[in-house]
Amino acid sequence: MTPEPDSPLTALAGVGPALAKKLERLGLYRVEDLLFLLPLRYEDRTRLLKLGALVAGERCLVTGEVLLAETAYRGRRNLLVRIGDGSGQLTLRFFHFSRSQEAQFQPGVRVTCFGEVRKGRAGFEMIHPEYRLLREGRDPAINDSLTPIYPATEGVQQGRLRNLTEQALTAMRRRPPEELLPEAIRRELTMPSLAEAILYLHRPPPDADVALMVAGRHPCQQRLAFEELLAHYLSLKNLRALADTESAPALRGGQDRIDAFIEKLPFRLTGAQQRVTEEILGDMQAPHPMMRLIQGDVGSGKTVVAAIACLKAMACGVQAAIMAPTELLAEQHCRNFSEWFRPIGLEPAWLAGSQKAAARREALASIADGSAPLVVGTHALFQEGVSFQRLGLVVIDEQHRFGVHQRMALREKGIGEAGHPHQLVMTATPIPRTLAMAAYADLDVSIIDELPPGRQAVTTVAIPETRRDEIIERVRAACATGQQAYWVCPLIEESDVLDYEAAQASYEMLTAALPELRVGLVHGRMRPAEKERGMRAFKEGLIQLLVATTVIEVGVDVPNASLMIIENAERMGLSQLHQLRGRVGRGAAKSHCVLVYKPPLGAAAKTRLAVLRDTNDGFVVAQRDLELRGPGELLGTRQTGLPEYRIANLVRDAELMPRVQLVAERITRDTPKTGTAIIRRWLGDAGRYGKV
């Protein structure tokens, strides 16, 4: 009896509870799930190759007659079987074999084998091929479709997966999955039907373009990827539609105070800052929560834009909170905001994990009774025990790793009498537009695509650590002219302690080598007050060379610093290096960045360093990072629960997004039920993550 598509896997022949458990590891629960487990590659057992036409490296099916079999001792026991077919010969080589196997290969016996052809000592050979002896008068078994190779999981053999998918395909033939893409859209996009695509990918005909399929670019794969992207997109849009029905304080007014504030700034806002500011202020007037993402390269001036948003909130009588990823950065914001807002009689409250109990109590009290209109802090801001009197705006700075769940959790946190707070997220990791469409479909995106005037590109060089003396001389020369420098210490994976020791060692080395300079040290294990003191001394020019761990990666702003040395650059990711480099090039002086590496440089590291040498544009860096590492790394999906895709690949398939968007709009408008079904098919219950 053929099982139903939505039966549990145990409905399939040969699947008991133990196997079902193993299959769960591949994300398989129901019969239909097997249809969406696509092969990684294919083997061609649809034709026999002549032994005279073999090519080394190819995996193929051959047949021949045993000419000779012998057991040889070359270090270890080898069973060598020479076969021939008139056009050529091939040696089969076995290291593990039984006596009965040895006895099988009598001269004259016919055998078919499948395996990889390699160049051996005496012509071509196959090591441990799959083989079968052919009885008199029988022809070798030739498949009529390419053989799929599925993603493996421990204890589930390919043969088993082929058998299970065969059963699922049989079930599908009887009861094809519902075609959810409207016919008109499929015709327009010349896409096969879902059932056609699935069947083709599981059992491709002999003439299928395997290279195209392995690259994931076959129309049948694109068909499935399209529907999957559509499902995720629709689901995020639903989430957004839900948010749009929620209320938020409509913040009207405050413009005169904002104008006065901008007037008094020591610089004029760039065109991009003005445009983005207007978009934000517009959002905040609406009675629904703002959900906006600001992308702006390092140094593009996001902080002041956030300050204006905070001012608007405060002027309209609600509280604003700004959250930074590190204490160092939060302290810097606190200092900036305090300077900017002091003239109008506002002092930000401070909340961070390391705070003393008394100070924390005081901060909590002022947040709760509303006497603190503005709070700056780390994620401590959104922990248990923090309650706002009337939170109207949440700004999250430098949040380049966050997923839907976190966004939602923050929104929920702020709910009060005034409704949901407005939410503004700022990131210096710009992602390409099509990827942003997919990952942040629930957010409005603004881009600050202009740097403040007078910024010069940072000149970047890569130098092996063997030339350290030269690098030290560069620091000496730069500081002698009144400039300041950062020295970023070797990165030690996942260890604060080792990071700290490495930083301490570099600090000692540099103080000894550069006795005439005032050298400071900042690392992650310092108490916040100490860090703060170090940073302040650097900012005020009391320290000329700041030795630091990667704690200074985000947000730190000291315009007079114009030289950055980064040790172990070969171990860091592109976006991280770009962030670090963004600490210089903020002032009028020409800035330089020296990427120090330990030779020899691997190919991937070489590419990364070359990208940084060649461009200062954060969008280009992000695009390259995406190509090199994939979206999971860039967006931090693993840590944050941004949903994983089963078939689509956000880098490879990003070009589908504009069409996905159009189709989503059409479905939402014309046949919303179809949208729900698509989400359900691809995301199951996860499709409702908006409601967590």
Enumerate binding residues for ligand ADP (CB under 6 A): 267-270, 273, 296, 298-304, 428, 452, 555, 557, 559, 586
In whole angstroms, the minimum distance from the beta carbon of 56 to ligand ADP comes to 54
Least separation in angstroms between CB 307 and Mg ion: 11
Residue number with CB closer to ligand ADP (226 or 337)? 337
Give the sign of the dihedral formed by CA 498, CA 500, CA 503, CA 508: negative
Minimum distance of ligand ADP from residue 269's CB (angstroms) = 5
Q: How far is CA 600 from the centre of its chain?
A: 27
As measured in angstroms, the least distance from the Cβ of 425 to Mg ion is: 12
Partner whose footprint covers residue 463, from Mg ion, ligand ADP, none (CB < 5 to 8 Å by kind): none
Of 303 and 326, nearer to ligand ADP (C-beta) is: 303
Query: 336 or 504: whose CB is closer to Mg ion?
Result: 336
Q: Which is nearer to ligand ADP, 303 or 616 (CB)?
A: 303
Give min distance, CB of 308 to ligand ADP, in A. 11
By the rule CB under 5 A, 555 interacts with Mg ion: yes
Shortest distance, position 298 Cβ to ligand ADP, whole Å: 5
The Cα 418–Cα 672 span in angstroms is: 31
Longest Cα–Cα distance of the chain, Å, equals 100
Closer residue to ligand ADP (CB): 261 or 682: 261
- Comparing CB distances to ligand ADP, the nearer of 342 and 467 is 342
Q: Are 247 and 288 in contact (CB under 8 A)?
A: yes
Hey, how many other C-beta atoms are within 10 angstroms of the C-beta on 341? Answer: 19
Q: Which is nearer to ligand ADP, 298 or 418 (CB)?
A: 298
Residue with tokens 């997220």: 425
Stretch that binds Mg ion, among 375-383, 411-419, 554-562, 600-608 (CB under 5 A): 554-562
Tell me how many helices (H) and strands (E) the chain has. Answer: 24, 23
The C-alpha atoms of residue 578 and residue 238 are separated, in whole angstroms, by 35
Question: If DSSP states are collapsed to H, E and C, what string results for 461-523?
Answer: EEEEHHHHHHHHHHHHHHHHCCCEEEEECCCCCCCHHHHHHHHHHHHHHHHHHCCCCCEEEEC
Binding partner of 298, given Mg ion, ligand ADP, none, CB within 5-8 angstroms per partner class = ligand ADP
Helix (H) or strand (E) holding 254: none
User: Cβ of residue 555: shortest distance to Mg ion, in angstroms?
Assistant: 4
Burial 542-558 (b: 16+ CB within 10 A, else e): ebbbbbbbbbbbbbbbb
Residues whose CB is less than 8 angstroms from the CB of residue 278 and which lie 6 or more positions away in sequence, other chains included: none
Q: Burial, 61: exposed, middle or buried (Cβ in 10 Å; 0-12, 13-18, 19+)?
A: buried
Least Å distance, CB 296 to ligand ADP, is: 5
Say which entry of ligand ADP, Mg ion, none residue 277 contacts (CB below 5 to 8 A, set by partner kind): none
Task: Copy the structure tokens of residue 461.
Answer: 């060089």
State which H helix or E strand residue 286 sits in.
Answer: none
Listed in order, strand segments (DSSP E) in 36-166 are 41-43, 48-49, 59-74, 76-84, 89-94, 110-116, 118-120, 123-127, 130-134, 147-149
Rounded CA-CA distance 528/522 in Å is 10
Nearer to ligand ADP, 234 or 428 (CB): 428
Q: What's the closest the beta carbon of residue 432 comes to ligand ADP, in angstroms?
A: 19
618 binds Mg ion (CB under 5 A): no
Q: Which does 608 bind (CB under 5 to 8 A by kind): ligand ADP, Mg ion, none?
A: none
Task: Find which of ligand ADP, Mg ion, none residue 452 binds, CB within 5 to 8 Å per kind.
Answer: ligand ADP
Whether residue 308 contacts residue 251, with contact meaning beta carbons closer than 8 Å, is answered with no
273 binds, among Mg ion, ligand ADP, none (CB under 5 to 8 A by kind): ligand ADP
585 binds Mg ion (CB under 5 A): no
Of all residues in the shown chain, the one whose CB is closest to ligand ADP is 301
Nearer to Mg ion, 167 or 378 (CB): 378
Which residue, 555 or 585, has its beta carbon nearer to Mg ion? 555
- Single out the segment in contact with Mg ion by CB under 5 A; choices: 64-72, 220-228, 376-384, 550-558: 550-558
What is the C-alpha to C-alpha distance for residues 688 and 45, in angstroms, rounded to an integer? 43
Which residue, 82 or 401, has its beta carbon nearer to ligand ADP? Answer: 401
Q: How far apart are CA 570 and CA 69, in angstroms?
A: 52
Strand-pairing partners, residue 461, are 594
User: Are 379 and 323 contacting, i.e. CB atoms less than 8 angstroms apart?
Assistant: yes
Give the binding range for Mg ion (CB under 5 A) out of 273-281, 340-348, 551-559, 663-671: 551-559
Which C-beta is closer to Mg ion: that of 110 or that of 586? 586
- Least distance (Å) from ligand ADP to the CB of residue 273? 6
From the list 487-495, 548-556, 563-571, 585-593, the region that binds Mg ion by CB under 5 A is 548-556
CB 167 within 8 A of CB 13: yes
Residue 588 C-beta-side C-alpha neighbours within 13 Å: 1
**Of Mg ion, ligand ADP, none, which one sits near residue 446, judging by CB under 5 to 8 A according to partner kind?**
none
Residue appearing with tokens 């209320």: 247
In the complex, minimum distance from the CB of residue 299 to Mg ion, in angstroms, rounded to a whole number: 8
Nearer to Mg ion, 39 or 555 (CB): 555
Shortest distance (Å) from residue 315 CB to Mg ion = 23
Name the DSSP class of 559: T
Q: Which range touches Mg ion (CB under 5 A), out of 68-76, 145-153, 313-321, 555-563? A: 555-563
When the beta carbons of 335 and 571 are compared against ligand ADP, the nearer one is 335
Q: Give the SS3 label for residue 636.
A: coil
Instruction: Compute CA distances 573 → 55, 485, 563, whole Å.
Output: 39, 22, 20
Q: Whole-number minimum distance, CB 429 to Mg ion, in Å?
A: 12
Q: What minimum distance in Å lies between the beta carbon of 327 and Mg ion?
A: 15
Look at residue 267 and give the partner it binds from ligand ADP, Mg ion, none, a contact being a CB closer than 5 to 8 Å depending on partner kind. Answer: ligand ADP
- Cβ atoms of 426 and 273 within 8 Å: the answer is no
559 binds, among ligand ADP, Mg ion, none (CB under 5 to 8 A by kind): ligand ADP
Measure the CA–CA gap between 516 and 94, rounded to whole angstroms.
70
With CB under 5 to 8 Å by kind, the binding choice for 270 among Mg ion, ligand ADP, none is ligand ADP
Contacts to Mg ion by CB under 5 A: 555
